Amino acid sequence: MNTQHLRGIPLHLEDLTYPELKKLKHEVDGLISKNQVGEVIAKREDRLTDCPNCSSSQFTRWGFTKQGVQRFKCKACLQTFNALKGTPLYRMRMSQKWVQYNELMWHGATLRDCAKDLDISLRTAFRWRHTFLKAPSYTGIQPLSGVIEADETFINESFKGKRILHRDARKRGGGKSPKTPILIALNREGSVIHEVVDRNTKESICQFLQPRIADGSVLCTDGNKSYIEVANGCKIDHKRIIGLDKIRVVENIYHIQALNNYIMNWKEWMVRFRGVGRGYLTHYLSWFRHMKQHKKSDQGLLFAAMTNT
Ligand SMILES: [Zn+2]
């Protein structure tokens, strides 16, 4: 709605009776509480102190975007911007559909279902998914501490959108598709780190783990010898669960079952996506981690994206 129309509304309000005004207020309050996106944008506007382009504090209100978001113009560099500048959502359209899109994502809807339910193109559905997934992928993770479980897992490489490559790979591999290695570790507090790597080697395992383990931790792994070097490098205790005599737990507390379960659950959840390109695997790992860690908030991704700068 443009400013002129907005100014016209109070003129009509004067004709309303007290019960009519109360009813209207109730409806407006309801709409405000439902407009979570508008609320976050308004809070960001309140905190704006300088121009995101040149850091000048001399800026002024400058109309609204087509989406109805307050626009600002900097007096120093003359650039216009709004409160979402610097977030992955800047210039993304149809903000009224973001909340519902996030709900669909949370429930694991396919891109096709999202596109159909929200009347957006498949292309937009795909772009939005990965826009929302940027924030959890970039979240800084503290080094793991305490009892840490680490392992490698493999996932069939998908060649979505790369038909020629796919044909070549099939020829070379005799029908078997290659597998992408993923290094993954977690601790008992529920912190998880992961990395998609080119090759599962001792070097890549050391590079992945050594900088991310806090002093005084205990590392639990299977028999893979690469982890001996990790533990030695970090000067921490190492419990190798080798499965001799079917022993799965050492000294009552050291095992890698939490990690095995986590990986199994992730893989089961991935089935719905029917193959994900290698370049996007990190997004899907981070998305899954985000859901595990924010069990109650189906809007977590949206608000992480809106506050991410
Ligand atoms: Zn400026």
Q: How far apart are CA 209 and CA 199, in angstroms?
A: 15
pLDDT tens string, the chain, 309 residues long: the values are 667 777 788 878 888 999 999 999 988 888 877 787 888 888 889 999 999 999 999 999 999 888 788 999 999 999 999 999 988 888 888 888 888 898 888 888 889 999 999 999 999 999 999 888 887 776 667 889 999 999 999 998 776 655 444 445 444 445 566 889 999 999 999 899 999 999 999 999 999 999 999 999 999 999 899 999 999 999 999 999 886 666 677 787 899 999 999 999 999 988 888 888 888 899 899 888 888 887 666 667 777 777 765
Distance (angstroms) between ligand 1 centre and the Cα of 128 equals 28
Distance (angstroms) between ligand 1 centre and the Cα of 297 equals 36
Sequence-separated (6 or more) residues with CB below 8 Å from residue 253 = 147
Distance (angstroms) between ligand 1 centre and the Cα of 42 equals 20
Encoded tokens for 5: 């129309």
Distance (angstroms) between ligand 1 centre and the Cα of 61 equals 13
Distance (angstroms) between ligand 1 centre and the Cα of 85 equals 12
Distance (angstroms) between ligand 1 centre and the Cα of 43 equals 21
Q: How far apart are CA 71 and CA 62, in angstroms?
A: 5
Distance (angstroms) between ligand 1 centre and the Cα of 86 equals 14
Distance (angstroms) between ligand 1 centre and the Cα of 78 equals 6
Distance (angstroms) between ligand 1 centre and the Cα of 67 equals 22
Distance (angstroms) between ligand 1 centre and the Cα of 49 equals 11
In total, the chain counts a number of residues equal to 309
Distance (angstroms) between ligand 1 centre and the Cα of 50 equals 8
Q: Counting Cβ atoms within 10 Å, is residue 126 exposed (0-12), middle (13-18) or buried (19+)? A: middle
Q: How far apart are CA 180 and CA 280, in angstroms?
A: 12
**Per-residue pLDDT, 138:** 67
Distance (angstroms) between ligand 1 centre and the Cα of 21 equals 42
Sequence-separated (6 or more) residues with CB below 8 Å from residue 155 = 179, 180, 182, 267, 270, 281
Distance (angstroms) between ligand 1 centre and the Cα of 59 equals 8
**Per-residue pLDDT, 297:** 63
Q: Pairing state of beta strands 70-74 and 59-64?
A: antiparallel
Distance (angstroms) between ligand 1 centre and the Cα of 93 equals 24
**Per-residue pLDDT, 146:** 95
27 φψ region: left (φ > 0), alpha (ψ -120 to 50), beta (else): alpha
Strands, E assignment, the chain:
59-64, 70-74, 80-81, 147-156, 179-187, 192-196, 218-221, 237-240
Reported pTM: 0.75
